[in-house]
Amino acid sequence: MTARIDPQAIKEKLTTETLGRSVVFREETASTNADAKALGRQGAPHGTLVLCARQTAGRGRRGRSWLSDEGALCMTLLLRPPFPPELAPRYIVACALGVCRALRACGASARIKWPNDILANGRKLCGILLEADASGFVAAGIGVNVNQRDFPADIAGTAGSLLTATGRAHDPNDVIARILAECEPLFAACGDEAGYAALLESYQALSLTIGRRVRIFAPGEEYDAKAVGLDPLGMLIVQRDGGETRVVGAGDVTIRGAIDN
Ligand code: BTN
C-alpha cells in the first residue's frame, strides 16, 4: 500500500525555513493553482504550499488540461518575489532545476526539457505551470507523476512516473519535502545576480534541450534550429538553420532525434 499525502507527515520531514511553513490541504479541488491564486489575493504568505489528494480540473501550460490520476502529486507554491516583477520568469528556471534535482535525489535520471518539463528515460515525469498575478505574486504549480504504473492511451507513449523510472513506489510526502528543500535556496538565488548566474549554469548542465537540434512552433511560424543557450531570463536562444539567432519565449519546442537520458 503506497503512502498518501499527509500534511502532518510533510511538516515532520520539512527542512525549509519558508517554503511549506503554511500548508493548505484539500482532499479534492479543481486546481491547486486556482486555489493558490485565491489564497494569494487574500494575503497568504510567501511559501504557502497548496496540496490536494485529487485534482479534478488540473491546468497545464498553453491552455491544456493536466491529468491528475491516482498516484499523481499536485502542488502549488505561492511565491512573493522580493525583486521587481519583470524578473519573476527567473522562478521558471529555478523551479525546473529544483524539481529536477529532487527527482534525481529520488533515484530518477531526470533532466529538463525547456522550459520546465522534467523527463527521465525520454518520458515526462513532471510538468510545471507558473502563473503570475497582477498584484505581484506567483503561483508555481508542480504536477509530478509519482506512483502511476499506467497512463491513458493518448499519453501512454510519452508519460512516465517516478515508479516507472526507478522501479519502486515512492512516498509522496518525501517527494514534496525534497522538492521544497531543493527549491528554497534556488528561489532565494533569483534575487541575487551571482546566485542566479550560477543557477542558470546548473540548469544548462541538466538541460535536455541545449545543444540539440529542435523544431520551434512559435505563434504564426515553424522552423528548425539548434538550441544554443538561455538568455538572462531563461528564454531559449536558438540558431535558426541559415544562421540567424532568435530568442524563443513562447510556443512549443520539440527535440529532434531520440531523447536518450
Ligand atoms: C504542463 O502543462 O506541463 C504543466 C502542468 C502543471 C500541472 C500542475 S498540477 C498542480 C498545479 N495545479 C494545476 O492546475 N496545474 C499545476
* 207-233: pLDDT as tens digits: 999 999 999 988 788 999 999 999 988
Of ligand 1's listed atoms, the one at least distance from the Cα of 31 is: 14
Whether ligand 1 lies within 6 angstroms of the CB of 76 is answered as yes
Which residue owns the Cα nearest ligand 1 atom 9? Answer: 143
The predicted structure's pLDDT at residue 2:
77
Q: What pLDDT band is residue 201 in, cutting at 50, 70 and 90?
A: very high
Whether ligand 1 lies within 6 angstroms of the CB of 173 is answered as no
Measured between alpha carbons, how far is 128 from 142 in angstroms, rounded to an integer? 5
* Span 244-256, average pLDDT: 84
Which residue owns the Cα nearest ligand 1 atom 10? Answer: 74
Give distance in angstroms: CA of 92 to centre of ligand 1: 13
Give distance in angstroms: CA of 204 to centre of ligand 1: 23
Give distance in angstroms: CA of 59 to centre of ligand 1: 5
Whether ligand 1 lies within 6 angstroms of the CB of 61 is answered as yes
Higher pLDDT, 154 or 259: 154
Of ligand 1's listed atoms, the one at least distance from the Cα of 116 is: 3
Of 66, 67, 253, the residue with max ligand 1 atoms within 8 A of its CB, to mutate for a pocket test, comes to 66
Give distance in angstroms: CA of 242 to centre of ligand 1: 36
Whether ligand 1 lies within 6 angstroms of the CB of 168 is answered as no
pLDDT higher than 90, residue 191: yes
Measured between alpha carbons, how far is 102 from 182 in angstroms, rounded to an integer? 6
Whether ligand 1 lies within 6 angstroms of the CB of 78 is answered as no
* Span 23-45, average pLDDT: 97
Which residue owns the Cα nearest ligand 1 atom 15? Answer: 59
pLDDT higher than 60, residue 196: yes
Of ligand 1's listed atoms, the one at least distance from the Cα of 30 is: 14
> How much is the mean pLDDT over the chain?
94
pLDDT higher than 70, residue 1: no
Whether ligand 1 lies within 6 angstroms of the CB of 127 is answered as yes
Give distance in angstroms: CA of 61 to centre of ligand 1: 7
The predicted structure's pLDDT at residue 260:
58
Q: Extract the C-alpha cell encoding 167.
A: 522501479
Q: What is the pTM of this model?
A: 0.95
